[in-house]
């Protein structure tokens, strides 16, 4: 391998987005991938491109990135299955409904369209939800896509601009001027980018990233059964739970007429196998919100590992204590959404210029608050 300006470890959607952006900048790029393009968490993900309001930093990154996806939409190939589904955050009861005016105001005051639906409007929008739900918040500009094909598209874009892809080569160690591969070969590079997803901490000891297991189910084709990405408002509670396993109602219509049903979150479980108890819990939760789901056929179930950081924000930028190492990892449940913005922020930092949004909240040099638990 000739020494490139940038060597990226991992061809998941984050590594692919970084490769496309570095190549666009005119940097020479090599991507080293142990298995296949988009075959890690990217293949397991739901592909919901969602603006999230959990924190200002998460909002800024997700909004920036969803805008980038929307701008790119007309260039994506058909098999990336990009669709303007919108999101409805479903309020189960009046207590949850009471949160919606503030949530709506948060989005609208920052320029993101949002509309409160009462019980009747929710039922009209999604007739298969159970009766008696209190309402919801429609965020119409959120989208969905099929992540592995989107990753392949980004990688091809990088390759069209001269990037080299080394498939089937696993990085064993990051050294001071490059990487050592498992077969003993060494590759030098001006800059090394660790985009190895949930495996990133193995290559960068000290990076606070740990795997968080999730399950998903895909159904047979039932066109029109669900029209928007539906997420229960309690989802954030599930995403925040650091000590216990959790499930939340989260259903996505695919353009094929299929539905993805999620989602579960587990720390400390690195077993790839489907856990039938967790799967039942997740499907029971989905049926509580949408009882007719129980009569549909599921055709496949799988698991994947999110790369979780203590503060739910990714590590993007220079790694302290190593002259040449940059991180692009730790995107937890939002890496499909935030991949494009990650590529932009990474290249801005490499080129030492301002970004469209502040980079500091995602800096790998930030300190984590021990109180929040890891
Ligand atoms: C169940 C589930 C649902 C999700 N739903 C969504 C969603 O709806 N929306 C959203 O935005 N996000 C979602 N996510 C999160 C999203 O899938 C991830 O954040 C994203 O795919 C991370 O991409 P990545 O490129 O960082 O990691 P990965 O896709 O895991 O890619 C990392 C790559 O690095 C390679 N690699 C690892 N170690 C080495 C090594 N030593 N040498 C060479 N190569 C190496 C791996 O083979 C892999 O291909 C979900 C995740 C899960 C698990």
Q: Measured from the CB, is residue 145 less than 6 Å from ligand 1? A: no
Q: Measured from the CB, is residue 157 less than 6 Å from ligand 1? A: no
Alpha carbon of 262 to ligand 1 centroid (Å): 17
Ligand 1: nearest atom to the Cα of 250: 8
Ligand 1: nearest atom to the Cα of 337: 11
Alpha carbon of 18 to ligand 1 centroid (Å): 13
Task: Give me the sheet containing 164-167, strands edge to edge.
Answer: 164-167, 29-33, 6-9, 191-194, 325-329, 315-318
What residues does 135 pair with on adjacent strands? 91, 118
Separation CA 311–CA 330 (nearest Å): 10
Q: Measured from the CB, is residue 209 less than 6 Å from ligand 1? A: no
Closest residue by CA, ligand 1 atom 50: 45
Q: Measured from the CB, is residue 4 less than 6 Å from ligand 1? A: no
Q: Are strands 229-232 and 246-253 parallel, antiparallel or unpaired?
A: antiparallel
Q: Measured from the CB, is residue 47 less than 6 Å from ligand 1? A: yes
pLDDT at position 193 is: 98
Closest residue by CA, ligand 1 atom 1: 214
Alpha carbon of 281 to ligand 1 centroid (Å): 24
Alpha carbon of 121 to ligand 1 centroid (Å): 36
Report CA-CA distances (Å) from 49 to 79, 268, 291, 349: 16, 27, 26, 24
Ligand 1: nearest atom to the Cα of 331: 19
Report CA-CA distances (Å) from 326 to 239, 313, 360: 27, 16, 14
SS (H, E, C) 211-259: EEEEEEEEECCCCCCCCCEEEECCHHHHHHCCCCCEEEEEEEECCCCCE
pLDDT at position 373 is: 34
Ligand 1: nearest atom to the Cα of 335: 19
Candidates 85, 251, 275, 336: which one to mutate for ligand 1, based on the most atoms within 8 Å of Cβ? 336
- Residue 53's φ and ψ, nearest 5 degrees, are -110, 30
pLDDT at position 372 is: 44
- Residue 161's φ and ψ, nearest 5 degrees, are -100, 20
Ligand 1: nearest atom to the Cα of 169: 43
Alpha carbon of 105 to ligand 1 centroid (Å): 32
Alpha carbon of 30 to ligand 1 centroid (Å): 19
- Determine if residue 8 is left, alpha or beta; phi over 0 gives left, psi from -120 to 50 gives alpha, anything else beta: beta
The reported pTM is 0.97
Closest residue by CA, ligand 1 atom 38: 196
CB atoms within 10 A of CB 138: 20
Q: Measured from the CB, is residue 304 less than 6 Å from ligand 1? A: yes
Q: Measured from the CB, is residue 41 less than 6 Å from ligand 1? A: yes
Closest residue by CA, ligand 1 atom 20: 335
Q: Measured from the CB, is residue 341 less than 6 Å from ligand 1? A: no
Going residue by residue through the chain (374 aa), what tens digit of pLDDT does each one get?
679 999 999 999 999 999 999 999 999 999 999 999 999 999 999 999 999 999 999 999 999 999 999 999 999 999 999 999 999 999 999 999 999 999 999 999 999 999 999 999 999 999 999 999 999 999 999 999 999 999 999 999 999 999 999 999 999 999 999 999 999 999 999 999 999 999 999 999 999 999 999 999 999 999 999 999 999 998 776 666 666 889 999 999 999 999 999 999 998 888 999 999 999 999 999 999 999 999 999 999 999 999 999 999 999 999 998 999 999 999 999 999 999 999 999 999 999 999 999 999 999 999 887 544 32
Ligand 1: nearest atom to the Cα of 304: 53
Q: Measured from the CB, is residue 195 less than 6 Å from ligand 1? A: yes
Q: Measured from the CB, is residue 170 less than 6 Å from ligand 1? A: yes
């Amino acid at each position: 391998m000739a020494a490139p300006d940038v060597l990226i470890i991992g061809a998941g959607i984050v590594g692919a987005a970084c490769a496309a952006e570095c190549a666009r900048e005119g940097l020479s790029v090599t991507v080293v991938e142990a298995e296949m393009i988009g075959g890690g968490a990217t293949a397991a993900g739901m592909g919901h491109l969602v603006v999230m309001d959990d924190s200002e930093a998460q909002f800024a990154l997700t909004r920036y990135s969803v805008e980038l996806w929307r701008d790119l939409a007309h260039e994506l190939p058909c098999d990336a299955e990009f669709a303007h589904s919108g999101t409805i955050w479903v309020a189960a009861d009046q207590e949850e409904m009471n949160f919606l005016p503030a949530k709506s105001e948060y989005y609208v005051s920052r320029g993101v369209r949002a509309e409160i639906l009462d019980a009747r409007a929710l039922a009209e929008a999604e007739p298969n939800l159970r009766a008696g739900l209190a309402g919801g918040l429609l965020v119409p500009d959120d989208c969905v896509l099929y992540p592995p094909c989107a990753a392949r598209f980004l990688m091809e874009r990088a390759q069209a601009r001269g990037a080299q892809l080394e498939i089937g080569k696993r990085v064993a160690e990051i050294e001071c001027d490059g990487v050592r591969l498992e077969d003993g070969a060494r590759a030098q590079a001006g800059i090394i980018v660790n985009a190895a997803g949930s495996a990133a901490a193995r290559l960068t000891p000290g990076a606070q990233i740990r795997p968080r297991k999730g399950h998903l189910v895909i159904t047979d084709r039932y066109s029109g059964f669900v029209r928007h990405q539906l997420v229960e408002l309690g989802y954030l509670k599930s995403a925040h739970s650091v000590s216990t396993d959790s499930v939340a109602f989260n259903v996505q219509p695919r353009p094929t007429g299929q539905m993805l049903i999620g989602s579960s979150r587990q720390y400390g479980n690195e077993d790839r196998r489907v856990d039938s108890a967790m799967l039942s819990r997740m499907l029971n939760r989905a049926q509580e919100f949408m009882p007719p789901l129980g009569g549909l056929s599921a055709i496949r179930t799988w698991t994947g590992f999110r790369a979780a950081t203590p503060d739910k924000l990714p590590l993007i930028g220079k790694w302290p204590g190593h002259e040449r190492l940059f991180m692009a990892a730790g995107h937890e449940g939002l890496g499909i959404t935030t991949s494009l913005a990650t590529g932009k922020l990474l290249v801005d930092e490499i080129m030492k210029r301002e970004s469209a949004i502040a980079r500091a909240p995602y800096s790998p040099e930030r300190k984590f608050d021990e109180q929040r638990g890891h």
